[in-house]
């Protein structure tokens, strides 16, 4: 089996990370992989924001704790976040961002970095505190965030799992 297929079959959502920092070069490579994801009609309306600063991550976690009314919420204590955003009025933005996130998750796995999809931001883009934070990070004002990638080195060894589902095959 080739490496690409192995990466896809062995990727898991990681919800416990070590405190080991991710190299900037690895984060840049992961974003480059995100930029190579499919986008409808090659629109490329997306913008990627990378946060590896502990204080900024804690600030976003605090904002989300307040918005979710969940003081225990911690985004799984990642070492980095990659936030894709796209134009608010672009009807295929959620699709493009989902493709970019999948490339992020697969690229991270191939580098030994764990990842998990954080989707809570999508419901709070217009909340004043979150928008102020996104402005501080220079996320374009006309952009919306549908999901983000939380990244870090896995704390525990995660075994591959067998996925269930159905499909039809016609020959």
| Per-position pLDDT tens, the chain of length 171 | 899 999 999 899 999 999 999 999 999 999 999 999 999 877 888 999 999 999 999 999 999 999 999 999 999 999 999 999 999 999 998 999 999 999 999 999 999 999 999 999 989 999 999 999 999 999 999 999 999 999 999 998 777 778 888 889 999
Q: What angle do CA 160, 114, 32 make, to 5 degrees?
A: 120
Q: What is the DSSP string of 78-130?
A: -SEEEEEEEETT-TTHHHHHHHHHHHHHHHHHHTT-EEEEE-GGGG-TTSHHH
Kindly compute the dihedral angle of the four CA atoms of residues 50, 107, 39, 31, in this order, to the nearest 10 degrees: 30
The pLDDT score that the predictor gives to residue 43 is 80
Q: How many CA atoms lie within 13 A of 106 on its CB side?
A: 18
31 SS3 class: helix
pTM of the model: 0.93
Please give the Cα distance from 165 to 97 (Å, whole number).
24
Domain range 18-152, CATH architecture:
3-Layer(aba) Sandwich (3.40)
């Amino acid at each position: 089996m080739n490496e690409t297929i192995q990466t896809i079959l062995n990727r898991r959502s990681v919800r416990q990370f070590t405190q080991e920092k991710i190299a900037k070069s690895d984060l840049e490579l992961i974003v480059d992989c995100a930029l190579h994801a499919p986008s409808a009609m090659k629109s490329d309306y997306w913008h990627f924001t990378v946060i590896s600063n502990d204080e900024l991550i804690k600030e976003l976690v605090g904002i989300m704790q307040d918005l979710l009314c969940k003081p225990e919420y911690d985004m799984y204590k990642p070492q980095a976040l990659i936030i894709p955003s796209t134009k608010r009025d672009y009807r295929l933005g959620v699709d493009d961002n989902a493709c970019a996130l999948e490339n992020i998750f697969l690229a991270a796995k191939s580098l030994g970095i764990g990842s998990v999809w954080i989707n809570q931001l999508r419901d709070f883009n217009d909340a004043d505190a979150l928008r102020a934070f996104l402005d501080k990070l220079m996320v374009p004002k006309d952009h919306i965030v549908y999901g983000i990638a939380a990244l870090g080195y896995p704390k525990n060894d995660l075994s591959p799992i067998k996925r269930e589902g159905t499909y039809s095959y016609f020959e």
